[in-house]
Amino acid sequence: AQEHLVRSERFAAVGEAASHLAHEIKNPLLLMGGFAAQVRRGLAGEDPQAEKLRGKLQIIEDEAKRLETLLREVSGFTKPCKPDLIPQDINQAVLDTVRLVESDFSERGIECVLELSHDLPAVPFDKNQIQQVLLNLAKNAGEAMPSGGKIHFRSWHQGETVMVSVQDTGMGMPSEVLERIFSPFFTTKAKGTGLGLAVSFRIMEDHGGDIGATSTPGQGSTFVLTLPLAPSTIAVPK
């Protein structure tokens, strides 16, 4: 137990240093990406040279955005995140998340279908954190359907828990992939961070809840979130 305590303190210190570093990098990065965009838009001219330079500036912008996402996910992962548990309606978190992605998704031929139970009890959760989980699941579902499809969001009450599922009609995953999806930095995407599901797992664990996935290659995947109704069932952080 002593060793575990020392280790977790050391881990917390490393996490703190990492989130401090992430914070320090974020501002200059935003500035660099923003200026690259301004210079690109101001760079007139039809000649191939100007065209080429605009292409390079676009790359700077895109890479800056990619690093911003990475930083956000790393700081989400390293920051100890004690959830602010407030009893509330889980459907609202689902609706707010869907609203956030809807217009981008519909342009990509992705339809969001809501099948929410309308007599759910209030359940304690941290709205920002659970919305982050739902957003991670929605983004992954969208990325699994490059030529469009459907995402079903469901909610229901089961025993002492409230459950939410996010089901896509995407490419699915073979079992070798499915086994590893919650590990930090595991990704099958060229530009993935592999942190979305690791962060989501942590958040669900901190809520005393759970996250699970099933998948059929070529047919799609389903992620299921479980949140306990009673705060007393919330696990002591390890």
Where does this chain bind Mg ion (CB under 5 A)? 140, 196
From 33, 170, 208, 228, residue interacting with ligand ADP (rule: CB under 6 A):
170
DSSP assignments along 187-202, one per residue = --STT--S-HHHHHHH
Closer to ligand ADP by Cβ: residue 8 or 216: 216
When the beta carbons of 76 and 228 are compared against ligand ADP, the nearer one is 76
Q: Which does 162 bind (CB under 5 to 8 A by kind): ligand ADP, Mg ion, none?
A: none
Q: Rule CB under 6 A: is residue 194 a binding residue for ligand ADP?
A: yes
The neighbour count for residue 165, using CB atoms within 10 Å, is 19
Scan residues 13-72 and list those touching ligand ADP (CB under 6 A).
none
In the complex, minimum distance from the CB of residue 220 to ligand ADP, in angstroms, rounded to a whole number: 7
| Pairing label, strands 220-228, 123-125 | unpaired
Residue 143 burial by Cβ neighbours in a 10 Å radius (0-12, 13-18, 19+)? middle
Nearest to 92 by CA among 127, 132, 124: 127
- Minimum Å gap between C-beta 162 and ligand ADP is 21
Nearer to ligand ADP by C-beta: 126 or 168? 168
The answer to the question of residue 162 lying near ligand ADP (CB under 6 A) is: no
Which secondary-structure segment (H or E) carries 223?
A: strand 220-228
Site for ligand ADP, residues 90 to 149, rule: CB under 6 A: 136, 140-141, 144
Sequence-distant (6+) residues with CB within 8 A of 26 are 68, 71
197 counts as binding ligand ADP under rule CB under 6 A? yes
3-class state of residue 115 by DSSP: strand
Tokens of 32: 């660099």
Alpha helices per DSSP H over the chain: 2-42, 48-78, 90-107, 127-143, 175-178, 196-206
Residue 189 binds: one of ligand ADP, Mg ion, none (C-beta under 5 to 8 A by kind): ligand ADP
SS3 label, residue 99: helix
Size of interface with ligand ADP, in residues (CB under 6 A): 23
Chain positions 173 to 192 lying near ligand ADP, rule: CB under 6 A, are 173, 177, 181, 186-189, 192
Nearest approach in angstroms of CB 233 to ligand ADP is 26
Residue numbers of the site for ligand ADP (CB under 6 A)?
136, 140-141, 144, 168, 170-173, 177, 181, 186-189, 192-198, 221
